[in-house]
Amino acid sequence: DQQVKQNSPSLSVQEGRISILNCDYTNSMFDYFLWYKKYPAEGPTFLISISSIKDKNEDRRFTVFLNKSAKHLSLHIVPSQPGDSAVYFCAASANGQNFVFGPGTRLSVLP
Amino acid sequence: GAGVSQSPSNKVTEKGKDVELRCDPISGHTALYWYRQSLGQGLEFLIYFQGNSAPDKSGLPSDRFSAERTGGSVSTLTIQRTQQEDSAVYLCASSLQGSNQPQHFGDGTRLSIL
């Protein structure tokens, strides 16, 4: 039973437009969420996080939104750039130490 | 470099052999994680070390898998009597002590069982 779901395996967006990556979770005890980006043959790199006491966190072109009642979070990238093409993983934690990762969404930003 | 280092980067071995994968975490990071990513799948948690506490082994898929962390630093993941379904990328991550610390990942070891 997947506790963290990313229902879109892939997403294509035109350069300069907004990319929206979605993540849903089932465990209501999760209170900390992160997004990671992964290029081929490299390990995931941390992008941005959000605590359940907030509903939005912004860092440059990246914004994460959290809707606790819907158990849903999303990552917005604007404007999208070709270098953003990667696999994006959503991760969640209930204790701040053990993290459950989603299956990932492959983003392709088309020039 | 100051990042998480994993070795080897690639390992090809025959079914039934034992393999050892190594992880050097970032200096000062007390937490260390092992994950597995099979082809087309997400990251599957295997084991978690935090300081001197007993490791969380709840993700290890079978008793053929074991891991140790010597001196609170380097960790080795051992797979005994490898099977073809063990083929995957094995990722190690480390983080600072405390809650809600982002994990820093190595580039992984790609394990192929023939």
Domain residue extents for chain B = 5-97
Q: What digits encode the pLDDT tens for the residues A30-43?
A: 999 999 999 998 99
Indicate the residue of A41, A46, A89 with minimum beta-carbon distance to B102: A46
**How many interface pairs between A and B have CB atoms less than 8 angstroms apart?**
52
Tell me, yes or no, if B25 comes closer than 8 A to chain A by beta carbon. no
Interface touch A41/B107, C-beta < 8 Å: yes
The DSSP result for B2-49, as a single string, is -S-EEE-SEEEE-TT--EEEEEEPPTT--EEEEEEE-TT--EEEEEEE
Domain B5-97 has CATH 3.40.50.2300: no
- B93 bridge partner residues: B33, B105
In CATH, which superfamily holds the domain spanning A4-110? Immunoglobulins (2.60.40.10)
Report DSSP state, residue A6.
-
Q: Considering only CB atoms, which chain A residues are within 8 Å of B35? A: 101
Q: What is the residue whose two structure tokens read 């993700």?
A: B59
Q: Considering only CB atoms, which chain B residues are within 8 Å of A100? A: 45
Domain residue extents for chain A = 4-110
Reading chain B (114 residues) residue by residue, the pLDDT tens digits are: 579 999 999 999 999 999 999 999 999 999 999 999 988 788 999 999 998 888 999 999 999 999 999 887 999 999 999 999 999 999 999 999 878 889 999 999 999 999
- What's the Rg (C-alpha) of chain B? 13
